[in-house]
């Protein structure tokens, strides 16, 4: 067993430590915010030395970008899986909203970082964070484009909907309504989905 571990390439050993490092950073960024989290805090939470953290990520900003990228990948996968099962445009949007809410409300630190740490809060990484957010939000743009609405209404709907979905993590209390029920309620309020659709 020891011989096998010693035979692992250095990159494989480093990659095996990357996931716990990203998870530790995400938990701290969620709890204390970006400015309130130091590399020393992250290294302690990940049971690594600060030097080991820097060997993976040369700066805290680059570590945040990696946490964002992981969060985007996780939420995007859920949204993509959910929308592939629907054909009706309104139901596809409802499925995307449900998947988005589920990802935010299931306690995922990575998803929470996406809505709690804004690109403008981290100027040195703002461009990359904006790019990651845009790559995710493009899914909603495409889904809303399939609705029979004019261009300005589509843009307003996207901004309104994503804002409402993201803000749910502030007021949501488990057990009252499911993410599916919330998504349908949001869409029925803005007349995209009839309240009676199941």
| Secondary-structure class of domain 61-189 per CATH | mainly alpha
162 vs 197, residue with greater confidence = 162
How many CB atoms within 10 Å of residue 135? 13
Question: Does residue 104 contact residue 165 with C-beta atoms inside 8 Å?
Answer: yes
Average pLDDT over residues 157-174: 87
Instruction: Return left, alpha or beta for 169; rule: phi > 0 is left, psi -120 to 50 is alpha, else beta.
Output: alpha
162/101 Cα distance (integer angstroms): 10
Q: Where do runs of H (alpha helix) occur along the chain? A: 2-7, 10-32, 39-45, 50-56, 60-84, 89-105, 109-116, 126-145, 151-171, 179-189
- What Å distances lie between residue 67 and 42, 149, 169, CA to CA? 12, 35, 18
What digits encode the pLDDT tens for the residues 42-52? 999 999 999 99
- Three-state secondary structure call for residue 121: helix
Domain assignments of the chain as residue spans, ordered by start: 61-189
What digits encode the pLDDT tens for the residues 110-133? 999 998 899 999 999 999 999 999
What is the pTM assigned to this prediction? Answer: 0.82
Asked if the model's pLDDT at residue 196 lies above 70, the reply is no
């Amino acid at each position: 067993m020891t011989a096998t571990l010693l035979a692992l390439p250095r990159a494989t050993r480093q990659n095996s430590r990357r996931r716990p490092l990203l998870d530790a950073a995400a938990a701290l960024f969620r709890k204390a915010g970006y400015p309130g989290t130091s590399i020393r805090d992250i290294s302690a939470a990940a049971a690594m030395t600060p030097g080991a953290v820097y060997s993976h990520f040369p700066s805290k900003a680059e570590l945040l970008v990696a946490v964002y990228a992981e969060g985007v990948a996780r939420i995007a996968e859920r949204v993509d899986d959910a929308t592939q099962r629907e054909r009706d445009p309104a139901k596809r949007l409802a499925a995307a909203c449900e998947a988005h809410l589920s990802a935010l409300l299931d306690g995922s630190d990575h998803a929470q970082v996406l809505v709690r740490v804004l690109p403008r809060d981290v100027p040195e990484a703002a461009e990359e964070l904006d790019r990651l957010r845009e790559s995710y939000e493009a899914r909603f743009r495409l889904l809303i484009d399939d609705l029979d609405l004019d261009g300005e209404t589509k843009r307003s709907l996207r901004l309104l909907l994503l804002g409402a979905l993201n803000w749910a993590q502030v007021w949501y209390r488990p057990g009252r309504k499911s993410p599916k029920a919330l998504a349908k309620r949001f869409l029925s309020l803005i007349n995209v989905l009839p309240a009676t659709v199941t």
